[in-house]
Structure 1
Amino acid sequence: MAASTSTGTPSWLGAVNDRVGLSALLDHGPLTRIGICEIVGVSKPTASLMMSRLIAAGVVEEQGLRAGAPGRNAVLYAARLDRPLGVAVDLDAHELRASVVDAAGGEHPVVRRALPRGASERSAEREIARAIDDACAADSADPAEVRTVCVGIPGYVDPGGRGELFTETLPGWPVHGLHDRLEQALGRTVYIENDVNLAAIAERRHGAGLDHREFALLWLGNGVGAAFDLSGELYRGTYGGAGEIGFLPVPAAAVEIDPDARTVQDLVGGAAVRRVIAGDRPTADERERLAERIAWAALPLLATLDPGCLVLAGPNAALGGPELAAAVEAAVRRISRWYPTVLATGVIVDPVLAGAREFLRGRVREQLLDTVARVAVA
């Protein structure tokens, strides 16, 4: 006997319609029945049945009335965004930032907390658990609805073996088994992502990478790193360490710029930038000197990937803005055969957190949409 299937049955078709209808509400915001018909392509009776089922499932609610023809008001339907939820976390050596994430990617308060310096005062499990509670309290959200967490760190976790943590800025955090320990302690799905990769996700969605098929992002902060966006997909490497260019040796031709520099970190890291720029903003001469350093640091990226666009991001890149980007573009052309467009970041405020939010948005959305399928099966 052939295996039975629910595909094509009324309940299956209803679940498909419901999922499409819920997607429309997430994409377009509150809609009337007519609006749902126009976007989804269903009849008015079908739209009414869809909304009735979604309301019963607890994923849609009526949200007031919209004035229509004289004497008639249309009900507005909206997706419920209070469940399920995620929390995005971004932390560096000094501060932790966190925010709630809903299925539509709406705006939520950002909470900030200073981090202790001593390893004995640090705890990965305690810090992330508190970040979840603080973010939910600031948003009046229920922590019990948080199912997924994304933690952006200055470093990376090897996805194989014992899950070794490679970082120099998280004292007191476990070197092995961080992912499993967080999931066990929090009782939630946890993603640990490199901070520069998350900044690239934000750049793709909201910033300088929006109109480019492929781009490389060069992060200039206290540390130096890179991320590679290949047609909207991040390349992380086999062991998660793609883009850790701060450890690369300085090209021989760049030694004249800084005879004491041995690595790319020495050439364009935070300490090097502070030696080049005396004030809050670079002078024209300082900008040119910094641009040449950055151009040499970028050459490994350009030689490996040959991207059409290079985005300069991070706090030290932001000091120079578009003028620094233009100077780097000119310097790259002067010292090499490559000629990418070099752009200043388009995400100025909390770029790593913005990327973590975007990373989670799609996952929280799928969790909400999967609720419809589970209800249909039940």
Structure 2
Amino acid sequence: MTTARTATPSTARAINDRLALNLLLEQGPLTATELRDLTGLSRPTVADLLDRLQRTGLVAVVGERGEQRRGPNARLYALVASRAHIAAFDVREGGVSLVVADLAGRSLATAEVPVEASAEASGVGAADAGVAERIVRTLLETARGAGVEQLHTVAVGAPGLVDPATGRLHSTGKLPGWHAELLTALRELPGTDVILENEVNLAGRAEYRVGAARDRDTFVLMWLGHSVGAAVILDGRLRRGFSGGTGEICFLPVPGTVGLPSADSCEGGFHGLVGSAAICALARSHGLSADPAGDASAAEAAVRTALAAGAAGEAFLDELAERIALGAAALCVVLDPGCVVLGGEIGRAGGAELAGRVERRLAGFSPLRTEVRAGTAGGGAVLAGAVLTAGDAVRRDLFGEP
């Protein structure tokens, strides 16, 4: 027979503090009365926790709210969002996007740092180190321009496998050497924690928390951009797999490709059907204009053109939907997520129209009922997920969350 454990006074205080802080984060300034109503805590307990949180600098009085009664107005208490600051990175082959934000996740400043192809290298060398230094310098200048002198946590979204055991980035293709150098340089920033995560996993978190899957605890995000990847969230938890490779569906063998994928290349895998170059080639085969460069922007433009192109566009969209459904079917018969969200440049461009076509085609491949939705976290989904991830880490530190 087991007996219930009684929380110690210090544990109870920590739980109450976290509850109040999260409410202030989610709902904004509240009065003590409102906190009592929302938490169910007693008047003395709320008064004690507000006093304690003000002494730690996490909560401050920001004004008053008139009550429908005689007497003084009620004080408004708010989370001090400037108590800690974070940064988020979306790292691509051609450069980075970054944002500096406060504890509440509000963006304070953004920057873009393009990296010319001539500056990229296949290995780590002086050129790579120079690129990394320039990016870190831009980060610090951007932060200082927003009045931020110290960053508590930086979250980085990058392509490749992130080993759950070591936190190291392993390339599944030919990534520039400056990616590794950038991570090294960021980890040398004094007093700053660095979190590395696969960029599609971060986009999945954004769709889960603020996007198309807010009402789902189990779903798969299919990221359709330059290449294709997936983020798998089951029962509210992001799944990475043994080596961090969950969702690397660009390597998935599927019918219709020119060959088979290898350990060094995904060209013969699902990537060969729905990567941006393949989508541009498909558009041209249907008589639609598509940039031969075949990058993600060109593929996005081709999809948008197809949506307004009449019969030729209809045929292209049907074939593209069938290709996407092939990969989605493989995920669904193994995981049965019940919901697939289409993200990335192609998912964003296709919207509900492409999602509906994929859903109908998928229904013919599998007996498992699966809803297909267009992602709503937008083009900044990776950055949004990185901000959420960094913010969660800060709150665990400052709020004492488990």
Q: Quick check: TM above 0.5? A: yes
Residues 156-194 of structure 1 deviation map (CA, whole Å, 9 limit, x = unaligned): 23345793521546412366x986664235542211111
- Residue of structure 1 equivalent to 2:264: none
Contact preservation (8 Å) 2:272, 2:278: yes
- Residue of structure 2 equivalent to 1:192: 196
Contact preservation (8 Å) 2:32, 2:76: yes
Distance of 2:83 and 2:247 partners within structure 1: 35
* CA 18–217 in structure 1, closer or farther in 2 if over 3 Å, else same: closer
Following superposition, the deviation at residue 273 of structure 1 comes to 0.8
In the alignment, residue 316 of structure 1 is paired with which amino acid? I
In the alignment, residue 266 of structure 1 is paired with which amino acid? G
Q: Which residue among 317, 342, 346 is the counterpart of 1:316?
A: 346
- Residue of structure 2 equivalent to 1:59: 58
Q: Which residue among 334, 339, 342 is the counterpart of 2:364?
A: 334
* CA 95–255 in structure 1, closer or farther in 2 if over 3 Å, else same: closer
Distance of 1:164 and 1:107 partners within structure 2: 27
Paired residue secondary structure (1:319)? helix
Following superposition, the deviation at residue 287 of structure 1 comes to 0.5
Structure 1 stretch displaced more, 179-188 or 343-352: 179-188
Following superposition, the deviation at residue 367 of structure 1 comes to 2.0
Contact preservation (8 Å) 1:98, 1:135: no
Distance of 1:195 and 1:46 partners within structure 2: 42
Q: Which residue among 315, 318, 331 is the counterpart of 1:285?
A: 315
Distance of 1:18 and 1:213 partners within structure 2: 26
Paired residue secondary structure (2:112)? strand
- Residue of structure 1 equivalent to 2:24: 25
Paired residue secondary structure (1:342)? strand
Distance of 2:75 and 2:318 partners within structure 1: 60
Q: How does 1:31-50 map to 2 (within 5 A)?
A: 31-50=30-49
In the alignment, residue 159 of structure 2 is paired with which amino acid? P
- Residue of structure 2 equivalent to 1:129: 136
Distance of 1:172 and 1:298 partners within structure 2: 32
- Residue of structure 2 equivalent to 1:163: 168
- Residue of structure 2 equivalent to 1:350: 380
Following superposition, the deviation at residue 211 of structure 1 comes to 2.1
Q: How does 1:106-255 map to 2 (within 5 A)?
A: 106-117=106-117, 118-119=119-120, 121-123=127-129, 125-126=132-133, 129-130=136-137, 132-137=139-144, 140-144=146-150, 146-160=151-165, 163=168, 165-168=170-173, 170-173=175-178, 182-185=186-189, 187-251=191-255, 254-255=256-257
* Aligned: 1:269 with 2:280: no
- State the TM-score, normalizing by the size of structure 1: 0.83
Distance of 1:328 and 1:14 partners within structure 2: 50
Distance of 1:216 and 1:135 partners within structure 2: 34
Paired residue secondary structure (1:152)? strand
- Residue of structure 1 equivalent to 2:72: 72
In the alignment, residue 310 of structure 1 is paired with which amino acid? V
| Larger RCO (alpha carbons 8 Å, 6+ apart) | 1
Paired residue secondary structure (1:327)? helix
Following superposition, the deviation at residue 75 of structure 1 comes to 1.8
Distance of 2:275 and 2:99 partners within structure 1: 28
Unpaired segments ≥5 residues, structure 2: 1-6, 121-125, 259-266, 290-300, 307-312
> How many percent of aligned residue pairs carry the same amino acid?
37
- Residue of structure 1 equivalent to 2:83: 83
Contact preservation (8 Å) 2:231, 2:247: yes
Distance of 2:221 and 2:55 partners within structure 1: 46
* CA 311–174 in structure 1, closer or farther in 2 if over 3 Å, else same: closer
- Residue of structure 1 equivalent to 2:294: none
Following superposition, the deviation at residue 60 of structure 1 comes to 1.6
Distance of 2:217 and 2:16 partners within structure 1: 33
Following superposition, the deviation at residue 17 of structure 1 comes to 4.2
Contact preservation (8 Å) 1:33, 1:47: yes
Residues 230-261 of structure 1 deviation map (CA, whole Å, 9 limit, x = unaligned): 0111111111111111123332xx359xxxx7
* Aligned: 1:98 with 2:98: yes
Unpaired segments ≥5 residues, structure 1: 1-6, 374-378
Following superposition, the deviation at residue 67 of structure 1 comes to 2.2
Contact preservation (8 Å) 2:251, 2:268: no
- State the TM-score, normalizing by the size of structure 2: 0.78
Distance of 1:162 and 1:8 partners within structure 2: 35
Contact preservation (8 Å) 1:147, 1:188: yes
Paired residue secondary structure (1:211)? coil
Residues 323-361 of structure 1 deviation map (CA, whole Å, 9 limit, x = unaligned): 111111222233454442111112223111111112222
- Residue of structure 2 equivalent to 1:376: none
- Residue of structure 2 equivalent to 1:297: 327
In the alignment, residue 214 of structure 1 is paired with which amino acid? T
Contact preservation (8 Å) 1:89, 1:98: yes
Aligned pair count?
A: 356
Following superposition, the deviation at residue 152 of structure 1 comes to 0.2
Following superposition, the deviation at residue 314 of structure 1 comes to 0.7
Paired residue secondary structure (2:240)? coil
